[in-house]
Amino acid sequence: MNNEDMFDSSVRSAGDKAGVFEYDGETAYFYLYDTRNENARKVTAAIPVLAGASDFEEKDIAIRWDSAERRVGLFIHGQLWAVFDDKTGMKYGGHYRAHVRPEMPVEIINAFQAEEDEHCLDD
């Protein structure tokens, strides 16, 4: 069980939005940030991820945008757990539990799978 603070983020290439994961040792959230105004950066959406001790470390967290940079996803142990769709404003997933598969619409999973497949072809 990990009770250390964790933080990770990924800014969209346009520099206007960021997906941010934060865990303070007790609770974890995935946030969508508006980064356009340096003096007034703000959270525009939040997904609760975890309450209590975690079974993962910071190295087990990844935040990635899909290839269209429309959606940003939080991956824990390589599994997609939470997503913000910046175009529709929808949010998916959250509520991490060890050894459980997250509930996520197939089209959302496929958007990130296509992005992963592109990376594999580049390698």
Q: What is the pLDDT of residues 56-86, one digit of tens each?
A: 999 999 999 999 999 999 999 999 999 999 9
Q: How far apart are the first and last CA of the chain?
A: 34
- pTM here? 0.87
Domain range annotation of the chain: 6-122
Return the pLDDT at 117. Answer: 46
**What whole-number distance in Å separates Cα of residue 32 and Cα of residue 11?**
10
Q: Are strands 71-76 and 61-65 parallel, antiparallel or unpaired?
A: antiparallel
